[in-house]
Amino acid sequence: FNRIREQVPQLCSLSPAGEYHIQDLDRAGGISALLKELSKKKIINLGEITVTGKDVGQNVEDALILNNKVIRSIENSYNPKGGIVFLKGNLAPQGGIVKSSAVHPDMLIHQGPARVFNSEEESTKAILEGKIKKGDVIVIRYEGPKGGPGMREMLTPTSAIAGMGLDKDVALITDGRFSGATRGASIGHVAPEAAVGGPIAIVREGDIIKIDIPQKRLDLKIEEEEIKQRLDKLELLSSTAKSGYLKYYANFAGSADKGAVRNI
């Protein structure tokens, strides 16, 4: 992620992080125009054959940018680097993902107290009841591939945060996932997940968490010895999946950083 991010500029800024929408992108020339512009940096393999029977270069050769506010040129990019950052640290030894292009500049570096929840529903209830304050770092765990099971999308809590005007002041960290609709300092895919004893499982209410997106770090601000002791004493929550395919998936699902595919 980070290697590609360094090479690929951000040429569009679409909702929910930007003022334009996907239909605006289509009217401005679409993905073909975007690919053609990116190809000027020699980062698109134009020789790859596509489902049209033609290669990428042939598909985009006649494409034009019809609105340079929606699709910017490489020289006038929103950001010379891409909008996805892979974070690591003692809270995410195997990594976590954040859509940095949707994070308010004031939240690129943030430190605050953890507000810990063991499900999406618990966190959403607290947000809607006004229990989350500016500066808080919401931690939603046991929502990963095994813990969910199925790694649900955490759209409801992030939408609630944004709807209450807190997306510039509150961060959210989860072993669940996000979609393109997420905005704010929302860090997902944290691995190892809570259900397999990842460090996210030992976070306690009020622990200080530091997010440093420019430095690609996600850390729990306690001593390493304390982390080790908590992990040694950790008692995992039992799975909510008691039978059927969900139980089967929970038993065999791999880690998010490996694609959450079945381990057999």
- List residues with catalytic annotation: 179
DSSP string across 37-52: HHGGGT-S-TT-B-TT
Torsion of CA 25, 31, 37, 41, to 10 degrees: 130
Q: Cα–Cα distance between 74 and 152 in angstroms, integer?
A: 35
Amino acid in position 12: C
Q: Is 244 left (phi over 0), alpha (psi -120 to 50) or beta?
A: left
Distances (CA, A) of 84 to 4, 34, 188: 9, 17, 11
Helix (H, G, I), strand (E, B), or coil: what is residue 78? coil
Cβ proximity of 12 and 20 under 8 Å: yes
Helix (H, G, I), strand (E, B), or coil: what is residue 107? helix
Q: Cα–Cα distance between 204 and 59 in angstroms, integer?
A: 53
Cβ proximity of 141 and 205 under 8 Å: no
Amino acid in position 216: K
Helix (H, G, I), strand (E, B), or coil: what is residue 120? helix
